[in-house]
Amino acid sequence: MRIEETIAELERVAAREVGRGSEALAAPAAGGLLAAARSLATAGPPDAAVFTGFFIPGADPPAAETDGPLGAVQIAVALRLLGGRCRLV
C-alpha cells in the first residue's frame, strides 16, 4: 500500500462517526492529513503549542474531556521525536 493510501485510510478511520459528531467535524478537513504530514516532514524542526483539556457542559454528566490530554501528549512526543519543541496548554 502506498503511503498516500495509508494516510487516507487513517483519515477515514479517524473521521468515522461514533455518535459524537466526528464525521461532520472532519468533513471540512478531509484530505488535509497528507498535507500536514508532508509539511511536518519537509519543514524545519517543529515549534508548536497543543491545547487540550476543555470542559464539555453538554455531557451527561458535564465533565472535562478524557481522551484529549493523552492525544496531546502523543502529539508532543511525536514533535519532539522530529527534533522540535512542543508546549502543552
Using pLDDT thresholds of 50, 70 and 90, give the confidence band for residue 88. very high
pTM for the structure as a whole: 0.63
* Long-range CB contacts for residues 77-81, cutoff 8 Å, separation at least 24: 79/46, 79/48
Quick one: pLDDT at residue 63? 86
Q: What is the pLDDT of residues 8-42, one digit of tens each?
A: 999 999 888 888 788 888 888 888 999 988 888 88
Q: Is the N-terminal amide bond of 28 cis, ω within 30° of 0?
A: no
Instruction: Give the 3-state secondary structure of residue 66.
Output: coil
pLDDT of 64 strictly over 80:
yes
